[in-house]
Each structure stands twice: as C-alpha cells, then as structure tokens.
Amino acid sequence: MKTHSGSIQKRIIAITLSCILGMCMIISCVSYYIFQNYLQHSLIQSTETSLQLLSDNINSSMNDIYQMARFCQTNGDIADYIAQNPNPGPLPPMTVLRRNTVIIPPTAICSGWL
C-alpha cells in the first residue's frame, strides 16, 4: 500500500506544481501586457504634451514676429527712412544698445518696445 500512496502523493505534488507554474506564467504574461500598454499610453501622452507645448511656443514667437512686421509696415518713420535711403547698403548683423548693462536687440528698437 505504501507504494500506491507514494505514487499518488507524487502525482498530486506534480499536478499541484504544474498548476502553480501554469498560473505563475499566466499572471506574469498578463502583468507584462498590462504594464506594456500602460507604458505605451504614458509615452504617447507625454509626447503629445511636449509637442503641444512646443507648438504653443512657436505660435507665440510667430505672433511677435507678425506684430513687429505689421508695426514696421504701418510706421511712418520707417517709411520715411526707406524713402530717403532707397539703397542704404548692408546693415551690421546686430546693433547693440546698452541700457543698465542690458543688451537690447534691434527688433526691440524697431517695434517700439523700449
């Protein structure tokens, strides 16, 4: 009888270990799948947010450029200067004014931001 109970006990242990191993594999696969989807969703959301921020910054910069162009088109002083100097020659790449050690670009001078 001991041989039968020993073989039955070994079968029960083998079946139990097989079931536990199978459940561990299933749980691991499901967890990996859920985690992978979460990471992909987070990456997509982060990229969308970064692209939206970049787009907003570019639009803001473009609005400043459009406003400066409109100002230069409608400013009478600039029109008079162009009329008096039709071919003024090359301009220096950057005109620098110092006011309390702050460097002011020429776009700020042209648009009247001073």
Please state, in angstroms and rounded to a whole number, the distance separating the CA atoms of residues 83 and 75.
Answer: 13
C-alpha 2: how far from chain center? 71
pLDDT in tens, 44-62: 999 999 999 999 888 888 8
Return the bridge partners of 99, or none.
Answer: 102
> Can you give the pLDDT at residue 101?
47
pLDDT in tens, 30-40: 999 999 999 99
| Chain position carrying tokens 């939206």 | 52
